[in-house]
């Protein structure tokens, strides 16, 4: 059958080698590198066909992906088969009421926001042991019984493809997410099993049906790891043309490009092997991974894949804790390789904004000047202004390059800083808000990671969180804060700073172990940004306790804030600036040295660590007795790094931008 996809070489003078391939894929007539993210759902397994599609949520997500330079989103559809398709007994009789309409609305929204969708039909979750017997049995049927498989293809898949034929919001159809997990190949304990030959037959016949109904459509499959996607290093590419056709018998049932996933505990790292290593005959996208993983190399993870000949990078996941890293990565790739990732069909591009200083959670003396330094850029216009806010108050608007701001002797307090840039098209980009402290103000903020954590509640690192940490629920447990005495017995507003990975959760909150105060609290709002919920509780003139019990599981808490405080104990705030400590340059090239200058002092033993934004160390020096030290940046990928000095109980940190 005629191929459905064209590929262009990137770099005219790249050395030729066996299996060499380009790093772009054609989408709506434009060659792009897939610079994107896994959604993978807003409502697990129920984003379509249940009558409750979160249209507003998808609109916000697609626009945000676009505004951070992304061009693609991977979205799961049937997933576990609990909602769609529609079954009658063990036979599929339709895609499900409203399924096609819901999916078309989602695809329309993606296209309007210059985002292409990889639509993943099924996941290994279809045989998860916790599913009902009915769901597992009918899913096993369509995987193993030819007539039932045909009922899915003819009555659900083909109607969807026919209705969405050549839709400009669809980048590709994907048959499975990690199907090897429900076979002896992956042998995952949480799912029942079929044979890998069942999976291959299903992929072949679904791909053939899609190609015949929409000859321009592209088809792929989301493979668990490199072991099941390549014949090298003891692996097997179960999805080669020959293997698929031999198992399913459909000459049109082949893939247009390959996808595999990478996590540090599975397979060989694509970040440590170029595309050519896998000896594949088609392009390869790394469709799931955590940015800045242990074996992701240094610098930008997305850029590493781009330069190593892969065709796309889709981070996991938009609605989970790695979202800030993914936004940073998409923006970096857009800023540095605009022509290869920019779609720019329906929307103008948003500006980019990088905050160089101060660092999140920085502390300053009451006589200090807080020096805000930013980098801003707009690819299709100019910069109009950069706005600096603390809480609800605008403290400065800068309208001229370099758009920086010196805040002279701010009042003693803990401030939440919001910085945004507005371009000439009036598009606004917000930096992640963060806290800074001036002086030694009364303690009003109580960190969740320092509270009593029970069950699955645990401490997690995140540079966007207060104090660089937060507490996370999985499914069970509680977080209990110990609070100071109230000025008088009364009701007080308590602010809870939280983040909801999938837009909405319920938890129970009460004070002083008093069931009469217990509230079933809805935590909702935009996914993956820190939000505030204000609750009113009775507090006493004694030590108080506030407890959050897991009800609907997985979400994150940063801190709670009281309207009153208690004096900070002496020396509770350590110096974060080593005496007479200077670093220059803070904006440098990958061939420079960074100088750490101690102004002539001979300092004691000091550890100097350079980390990327996810905390991975890329350089470490240990010095003693030096008054000046140079640290090399040779070999570092462009990006933002944190240079941190630790000497005894004194520490300092500076943000470094490698261009």
Alpha carbon distance 179, 122 (integer Å): 8
**444, 434 Cβ separation under 8 angstroms:** no
**385: β partners:** 422
How far is 657 from 639, CA to CA, in rounded Å? 6
The rounded distance, in Å, linking the Cα atoms of 414 and 300 is 32
Query: Considering all CA atoms of the chain, what is the largest pairwise distance in Å, rounded to the nearest integer?
Result: 82
Tokens of 430: 């917000």
Can you tell me the distance from the alpha carbon of 568 to that of 574, in angstroms, rounded to the nearest whole number?
12
Torsion-angle region of 294 (φ positive above 0: left; ψ -120 to 50: alpha; else: beta): alpha
Q: How many Å separate Cα 264 from the centre of its chain?
A: 16
Whether the bond into 594 is cis, omega within 30 of 0: no
Q: Annotated catalytic, 288?
A: yes
Annotated catalytic residue 178: yes
Which one from 288, 320, 329, 449 is the annotated catalytic residue? 288
**Nearest residue to 523 (alpha-carbon basis) of 506, 537, 509:** 506
CB neighbour list of residue 106: distance below 8 Å, 6 or more residues apart: 47, 48, 53, 55, 58, 75, 117, 169
Burial 108-119 (b: 16+ CB within 10 A, else e): bbbbbbbbbbbb
The dihedral built from the CA positions of residue 602, 606, 609 and 615, taken in this order, carries a sign that is: negative
Q: Distance between CA atoms of 285 and 223, rounded to whole angstroms?
A: 10
Catalytic residue among 26, 166, 174, 178: 178
Strands (E), 551-649: 555-566, 582-584, 587-588, 593-597, 606-612, 617-623, 628-632, 639-647
Q: Could you write out the DSSP letters of every residue in 574-586?
A: --SS-TT-EEE-S
Identify the three-state secondary structure at position 48.
Answer: coil
Rounded CA-CA distance 412/76 in Å is 49
333 closest CA partner among 34, 13, 30: 34
Q: Which residue reads 């004694």 in tokens?
A: 542
Q: In whole angstroms, what is the distance from residue 544 CA to residue 551 CA?
A: 22
DSSP helix/strand/coil, 634:
coil
259 and 252 in contact (C-beta within 8 Å)? no
DSSP letter, residue 375: E
Q: For residues 350 and 423, what is the distance between their CA atoms, to the nearest angstrom? A: 7
Give yes or no for a cis peptide into 585 (omega within 30° of 0).
Answer: yes
φ, ψ dihedrals at 213, nearest 5°:
-75, -30
Q: Are 38 and 66 in contact (CB under 8 A)?
A: no
Contacts of 568 (CB under 8 A, 6+ apart): 440, 441, 442, 443
Helix, strand or coil for residue 244? helix
Q: Which residues are catalytic?
A: 178, 288
């Amino acid at each position: 059958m005629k191929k459905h996809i064209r590929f262009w070489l990137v770099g005219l003078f790249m050395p030729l080698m066996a299996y060499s391939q380009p790093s772009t894929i054609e989408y709506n007539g434009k060659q792009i590198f897939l610079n994107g993210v896994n959604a993978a759902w807003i409502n697990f397994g129920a984003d379509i066909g249940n009558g409750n599609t979160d249209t507003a949520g998808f609109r916000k997500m697609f626009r945000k992906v676009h505004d951070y330079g992304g061009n693609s989103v991977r979205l799961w559809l049937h997933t576990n088969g609990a909602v769609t398709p529609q079954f009658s007994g063990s036979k599929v009789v339709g895609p499900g009421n409203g399924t096609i309409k819901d999916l078309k609305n989602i695809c329309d929204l993606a296209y309007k926001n210059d985002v292409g969708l990889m639509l993943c039909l099924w996941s290994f979750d279809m045989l998860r042991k916790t599913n009902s017997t009915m769901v597992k049995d009918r899913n096993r049927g369509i995987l193993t019984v030819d007539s039932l498989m045909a009922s899915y293809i003819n009555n659900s898949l083909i109607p969807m493809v026919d209705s969405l034929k050549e839709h400009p919001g669809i980048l590709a159809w994907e048959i499975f997410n990690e199907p090897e997990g429900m076979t002896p190949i992956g042998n995952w304990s949480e799912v029942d099993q079929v044979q890998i030959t069942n999976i291959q037959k299903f992929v072949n016949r679904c791909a053939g049906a899609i190609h015949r109904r929409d000859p321009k459509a592209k088809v792929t499959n989301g493979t668990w790891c490199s072991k099941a996607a390549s014949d090298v290093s003891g692996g097997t590419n179960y999805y080669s043309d020959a293997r698929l056709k031999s198992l399913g018998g459909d000459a049109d049932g082949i893939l247009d490009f390959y996808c595999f996933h990478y996590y540090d505990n599975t397979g060989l790292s694509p970040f440590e092997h170029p595309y050519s290593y896998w000896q594949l005959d088609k392009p390869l996208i790394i469709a799931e991974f955590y940015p800045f993983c242990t074996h992701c190399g240094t610098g930008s993870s997305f850029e590493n894949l781009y330069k190593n000949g892969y065709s796309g990078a889709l981070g996991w996941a938009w609605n989970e804790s790695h979202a800030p890293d993914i936004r940073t990565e998409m923006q970096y790739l857009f800023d540095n390789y605009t022509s290869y990732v920019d779609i720019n069909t329906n929307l103008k591009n948003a500006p980019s904004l990088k905050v160089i200083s101060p660092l999140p959670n920085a502390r300053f003396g009451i006589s200090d000047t807080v020096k805000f330094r930013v980098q801003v850029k707009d690819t299709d216009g100019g910069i109009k202004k950069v706005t600096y806010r603390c809480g609800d108050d605008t403290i400065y608007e800068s309208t001229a390059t370099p758009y920086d701001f010196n805040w002279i002797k701010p009042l003693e307090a803990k401030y939440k800083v919001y910085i945004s840039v507005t371009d000439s098209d009036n598009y606004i980009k917000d930096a992640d808000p963060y806290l800074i402290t001036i002086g030694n103000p009364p303690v009003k903020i109580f960190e969740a990671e320092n509270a009593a954590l029970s069950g699955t509640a645990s401490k997690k690192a995140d540079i966007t969180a207060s104090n660089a940490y937060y507490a996370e629920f999985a499914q069970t447990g509680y977080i209990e804060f110990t609070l100071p005495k109230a000025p008088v017995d009364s009701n007080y507003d308590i602010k809870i700073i939280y983040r909801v990975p999938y837009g909405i959760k319920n938890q129970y909150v009460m004070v002083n172990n008093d069931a009469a105060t217990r509230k079933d609290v809805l935590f909702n709002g935009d996914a993956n940004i820190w939000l505030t919920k204000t609750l009113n509780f009775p507090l006493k003139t004694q030590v108080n306790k506030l407890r959050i019990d897991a009800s609907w599981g997985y979400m994150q808490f940063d801190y709670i804030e009281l309207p009153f405080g208690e004096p900070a104990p002496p020396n509770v705030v350590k110096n974060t600036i080593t005496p007479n400590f200077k670093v220059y340059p803070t904006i440098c090239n990958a061939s420079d040295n960074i100088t750490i200058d101690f102004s002539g002092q001979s300092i004691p033993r000091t550890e100097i660590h350079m980390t990327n934004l996810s905390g991975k160390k890329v350089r470490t020096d240990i010095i003693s007795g030096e008054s000046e030290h140079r640290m090399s940046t040779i070999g570092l990928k462009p990006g933002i790094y944190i240079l941190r000095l630790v000497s005894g109980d004194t520490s300092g940190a500076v943000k470094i931008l490698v261009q």
